């Protein structure tokens, strides 16, 4: 049994991830403290450092959060771009950059991206661009992780559980059950793969 | 003959690009005003707006600049990451975001990335990650560019002209002549392709 920090456990993607982590001791973390075991803001280095120190020993970090702004490219402002870049992209890089100092030997990081960098749709340019950044980051940084630490990203299509919200924006997409996405997180955490983008698509 | 704004003309990559633009009227822009026709800081929205207004009519923007910081991942600071992200990634997105308001119908943007997102080497994680972001951005944003505007990225390996500086960091890489990279810029500017990553590798 591993000790896993799951960031964003209460979101739909967090719940999907949780279905793949049932063998383990899962500690939850997120922005709103009362709903989680620990409070954390991934855009803030000190907040991450505080989380990892408070937890002590942990074998894996699974992240399912990252804020994105949605707008057509010609309308998207610098503020909207930076909000997305600082959360979904740099927030996840922060998790690994700070987390690698604290995680156990042979630990693992599992980050979240999303299929829109492979299957673009309107309004999602910042989401797609930052997913491309994180998928690339994972492939390259795996080669220099110390102490046997692994890293992968999970790149799912839309969840069945979120279809009611996003379906209209995504014509011709086939949603997948959260439990299938949970399998990808399980493969990342319990396997020996590293530097991989685990696509979950139908 | 097209009017082209070439950002960073005096660098090695700028000189390489210039070899492919000889049929056109090229206006140069860069950070240090005396060396260029126009001064511009791509990290600053107002500076870009001032450039495009000053030039007036233009058919293409070719960018060859983007500052990257180099360090091993475990040593790279948040400041080094953000310096790279704000220049090579967001600076180039700024060029397109602001430039699309001013560029002529059926104009084109040619951005610069680099092969290290495909062939990783030590110390280059921020370079690779932001190249991955821009290559993804180009593929996706092409689908929503207005008025027939095209966009591509040129993703070259190391230049023969830069081998003396970078060769030691890049064992087993085969440098290519700047003139071959110039061909890729020419193909982007004078062709009808869009949403493509033009790899120049040997």
Please answer whether residues A196 and A154 qualify as being in contact, where contact means their C-beta atoms are separated by less than 8 angstroms: no
State the pLDDT confidence band at B37, using cuts at 50, 70 and 90: very high
Contact B125 A141 (CB under 8 A): yes
The CA-atom distances, in angstroms, between A189 and each of A24, A153, B199 are 10, 11, 34
pLDDT at B32: 84
Average pLDDT, chain A: 97
* Percentage with pLDDT > 90 across chain A: 98
Contact B136 A137 (CB under 8 A): no
CB-based contacts of A164, cutoff 8 Å, min separation 6 = none
The closest of A157, A181, A154 to A169, measured between CA atoms, is A157
pLDDT digits (tens, 9 = 90+) for A82-129: 999 999 999 999 999 999 999 999 999 999 999 999 999 999 999 999
State the pLDDT confidence band at A164, using cuts at 50, 70 and 90: very high
pLDDT digits (tens, 9 = 90+) for B120-149: 999 999 999 999 999 999 999 999 999 999
**Cβ-based contacts of B122 with chain A (< 8 Å):** 144
Q: Measured between CB atoms, which of B97, B132, B139 is closest to A133?
A: B132
Please answer whether residues A131 and B128 qualify as being in contact, where contact means their C-beta atoms are separated by less than 8 angstroms: no
Angle at B43 between CA B40 and CA B44, to 5 degrees: 70
CB-based contacts of A157, cutoff 8 Å, min separation 6 = A114, A115, A119, A173, A174, A175, A176, A200, A201, A202
What are the structure tokens assigned to A135, written together?
Answer: 């998928």
Q: How far apart are CA A135 and CA A32, in angstroms?
A: 27
Contact B78 A85 (CB under 8 A): no
Whether A2 has a pLDDT exceeding 80, the answer reads yes
pLDDT digits (tens, 9 = 90+) for B58-91: 999 999 999 999 999 999 999 999 999 999 999 9
pLDDT at B34: 81
What are the structure tokens assigned to B4, written together?
Answer: 């082209």
Contact A136 B139 (CB under 8 A): no
Buried b (16+ CB within 10 A) or exposed e, B114-143: bbbbbebbebbbbbbbbbbbbbbbbbbbbe
Residue A133 CB neighbour total at 10 angstroms:
31
**Cβ-based contacts of A130 with chain B (< 8 Å):** 133
Chain A interface, Cβ < 8 Å to B: 45, 72-74, 76, 78, 81-82, 85, 89-90, 93-94, 97, 100-101, 116-117, 120, 122, 124-125, 128-137, 139-141, 143-146
CA distance B35 to chain A (A): 29
Contact A132 B128 (CB under 8 A): no
For the CA atoms of chain A, what is the radius of gyration? Answer: 16
CA distance A91 to chain B (A): 11
Whether A32 has a pLDDT exceeding 90, the answer reads no
pLDDT at A102: 98
Average pLDDT, integer, range A136-151: 98
**Cβ-based contacts of A125 with chain B (< 8 Å):** 137, 140-141, 144
């Amino acid at each position: 049994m591993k000790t896993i920090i799951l960031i964003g456990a209460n979101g739909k993607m967090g719940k999907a991830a949780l279905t793949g982590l049932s063998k383990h001791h899962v500690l939850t973390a997120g922005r709103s403290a009362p709903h989680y075991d620990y409070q954390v803001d991934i855009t803030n280095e000190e907040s991450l450092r505080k989380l990892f120190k408070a937890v002590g020993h942990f074998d894996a970090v699974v992240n399912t959060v990252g804020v994105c702004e949605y707008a057509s490219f010609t309308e998207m402002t610098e503020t909207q771009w930076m909000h997305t870049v600082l959360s979904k992209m740099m927030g996840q890089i922060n998790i690994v950059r700070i987390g690698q100092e604290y995680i156990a030997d042979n630990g693992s990081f599992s980050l979240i991206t999303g299929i829109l960098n492979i299957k673009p749709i309107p309004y999602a340019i910042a989401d797609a661009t930052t997913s491309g950044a994180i998928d690339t980051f994972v492939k390259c940084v795996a080669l220099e992780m110390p102490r046997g630490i692994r890293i992968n990203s999970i790149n799912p299509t839309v969840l069945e559980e979120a279809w009611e919200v996003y379906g209209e924006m995504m014509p011709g997409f086939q949603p997948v059950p959260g439990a299938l996405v949970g399998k990808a997180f399980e493969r990342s955490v319990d396997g020996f793969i590293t530097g991989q983008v685990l696509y979950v698509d139908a």
